[in-house]
Chain A
Amino acid sequence: MMTSTPAAAVAPSATLTAALPSFSIADIRAGLTAGDFSASELAEAALAVCTERDESIHAFLEVTDGLAQETAAELDASFAAARAANAELPLLAGVPIAYKDNMNLEGTRTSCASRMLENYISPYTATCIEKTLDAGALPLGKLNMDEFAFGSSTETSYFGCTYNPWDLGRVPGGSSGGSAAAVAAGLATVSLGSDTGGSIRQPAAFCGVVGFKPTYGVVSRYGVVGFGSSLDQVGPLGRSVADVATTLDAMVGRDVRDCTSQDCKPNFAAAAQLGRTQGIAGKRVGIVPSYMDAAGVSSEVASALKAALTKLEGLGAQIVEVELPNAKAALSAYYVIGPCEAFSNLSRFDGIRYGYRASDCRNLEEQYEKSRTQGFGAETRRRIMLGSYLLSSGVYETYYYPAQQVRTLITQDYQCAFEQVDVLLTPTSPRTAFKLGEIADPTSMYLSDIFTIPINIAGNGGMNLPVGLGETSGLPVGVQIIGPQFKDENIFEVASALEACYADIERLAPWTPVADDSSSSGGGAQ
């Protein structure tokens, strides 16, 4: 873990440090409004929590102490002015937030968890980060991930994996593993992740938090390092539907710097509130019968899904069976489209303009080869090479073009389904978090995302909602709620109502203070 400046001289409040990990955005807002604490005190408490807990989790690649303290001081001045003028505090006033390390934040390292960008200091800030800062959030730092977001476990990070706060011997999922673990461990109130094939939702499921991938185009991707440009979308993770909704409200909208961002101004917090207060009686919830007993789905995931359905029925929702006949080809289509787009996006890394540069080379070609070979990890090299192959003459016609045609069929499946239902309910992941090193074979790892990938192919929004701990594993289980394109509010309404049925489940992973360094389990930062 890298820190930007020495720790502050002022000791953080022990009471606030103990309470902060379980605070919601509303708690922080209420405390700031009542004058119970200041943004500066929140920053000190949040940094103290990170120092105390992240040694065993390794969610952070960089803690931006100085930036958090500086921002907090500015926020205190602006909040004082707002209070004097009887003005509302901004949406994310004082909310400790952290960002996946593929998002540029000026002056911080944006490594994508790769040796290639180990020394890359962002010269500008991504729109999604800028918007959260404009909304008054406290930036705590940058979070671990699979290298360039290629992976489902965070094990491909060049800087060592992140440990699941529920069981330090297990992965947090990926690629936004740091984003999910930080929220589950109480290191941040909310975080941002990116999702190309499930990279927000699957780690959210593994870590027992809410994670949302909006419809493609809802959030600007400007300043987020590209993986699969027709699949990538940025979204928030938090410990409640309301926190995720509020964070998303601060981020959405058209951005002239991302031509795919759309001019939508939904109010997700209001939708979540509506679901909670008005209920969801009469809402049509679709289920895919073939998903209920699909091969590879663990019995505890299947049983949690059925229990969620029963609760939805209890809320008055109408359960409708729908078919997604082409979704079975989504994984194959994804592993054509994703690597092809990644191959294109990662061709920019040549060691010349920025990034890792190999030394002792005889000529430019050798320097390209050595820089890319030494700078990229095994999975990244694998996807680049696969993408190159799939785009080559002859192979393009066999795989790439048909994959885009199959994408049309998959998208039509969803359009057809959403003529009959308001949302779909599926598992998020076929199983709970697996052990570190348990899955080494790439094709087995790819199956982790079998229920999340079709949504990226079709462009719809999807959320992981935690529904408790698995009856066998004792680990978090999540269900996925999917909505029609640009009707993500449907998801928040249903998720918020369903969440109320699980009021007793814990979103914050249990944490026991480490007695001394030698007893730290999980291995710590690598």
Chain B
Amino acid sequence: MYLTEHDVRGIAAYTRIELDESELAALTVEFNAIIESLKPITEYDLEGVEPTFHPIAGLSNVMREDTAEPVMSREVAMELAQDVHEGQYRVLPILGEGGEQ
């Protein structure tokens, strides 16, 4: 077993996902099965093998000139937010229990 229920609870907290107790046991079993299926990559002798973080080697990034160009306006960008105040995103208190503002 790679992960315990305690571990899975910790991962959920880190990724800002709530888990209720009823799904914890099943998820732990699933994660262990998935991690077991990853075993082949741990069985390689990879001494001296360079990693490939990008699928196409030897190509260069496409860069444009560093000049100011029109960009999405603040108004358009903020249209999708649910709580905007004077051109800023408004969020709940970071600490405590302030509730919805």
Chain B residues near A258: list those with CB within 8 A: 62
Out of A362, A398, A442, name the residue touching B99 (CB < 8 Å). A362
A123 touches B77 (CB 8 A): yes
B62 touches A261 (CB 8 A): yes
Out of B14, B18, B50, B53, name the residue touching A388 (CB < 8 Å). B14
B15 touches A402 (CB 8 A): no
B61 at the interface (CB under 8 A from A): yes
Chain B interface residue count, CB cutoff 8 Å, equals 57
Chain A residues near B41: list those with CB within 8 A: 329, 332-333, 336, 399, 402-403, 406
A405 touches B31 (CB 8 A): no
A370 at the interface (CB under 8 A from B): yes
A335 touches B17 (CB 8 A): no
Out of A254, A369, A392, name the residue touching B16 (CB < 8 Å). A369
Chain B residues near A262: list those with CB within 8 A: 56, 59, 62
**Is chain A's binding surface mostly helix, strand, loop or mixed?**
helix
B93 at the interface (CB under 8 A from A): yes
A231 touches B42 (CB 8 A): no
A283 at the interface (CB under 8 A from B): no
| Stretch of A35-43, A304-312, A376-384, A511-519 on the interface side | A376-384
B81 touches A443 (CB 8 A): no
In the complex, which residues 79-135 of chain A have their Cβ closer than 8 Å to any Cβ of chain B?
120-121, 123-124
A428 at the interface (CB under 8 A from B): no
B68 at the interface (CB under 8 A from A): no
A409 touches B44 (CB 8 A): yes
A171 at the interface (CB under 8 A from B): no
B50 touches A405 (CB 8 A): yes
Chain A residues near B96: list those with CB within 8 A: 362-363
Chain A residues near B78: list those with CB within 8 A: 353
B65–chain A nearest beta-carbon distance, Å: 9
Of the four ranges (under 10, 10 to 19, 20 to 34, 35 or more), the interface on chain A belongs to: 35 or more
Task: Give A401's nearest chain B residue, CB to CB.
Answer: B51
Out of A254, A355, A408, A485, name the residue touching B56 (CB < 8 Å). A485
Out of B15, B39, B59, name the residue touching A217 (CB < 8 Å). B59
B81 touches A382 (CB 8 A): no
B55 at the interface (CB under 8 A from A): yes
Q: What separation, in Å, do the CA atoms of A121 and B100 have in the docked complex? A: 25
1/0 per residue B25-38: CB within 8 Å of A? Answer: 00100110110011
Q: What separation, in Å, do the CA atoms of A440 and B78 have in the docked complex? A: 39
A364 at the interface (CB under 8 A from B): yes
User: Do A335 and B37 form a contact, CB below 8 Å, given A385-B17, A389-B31?
Assistant: yes
Chain A residues near B92: list those with CB within 8 A: 361-364, 366-367
Task: Give A376's nearest chain B residue, CB to CB.
Answer: B17
Chain B residues near A364: list those with CB within 8 A: 91-94
Q: What separation, in Å, do the CA atoms of A518 and B65 have in the docked complex? A: 60
B50 touches A408 (CB 8 A): yes
In the complex, which residues 59-101 of chain B have their Cβ closer than 8 Å to any Cβ of chain A?
59, 61-64, 72, 76-83, 89, 91-100
Q: A385-B8, A404-B52 are in contact. List 8 more A-B contacts (CB 8 A).
A: A332-B40, A353-B89, A354-B80, A362-B92, A362-B98, A364-B93, A402-B41, A459-B56
10 contacts between A and B (CB under 8 A): A217-B56, A259-B62, A367-B92, A369-B17, A382-B30, A388-B14, A403-B41, A404-B51, A405-B46, A405-B52
| Top 9 closest pairs, chain A to chain B, by CB | A459-B55, A404-B51, A354-B80, A362-B97, A256-B64, A373-B18, A405-B46, A405-B49, A329-B40
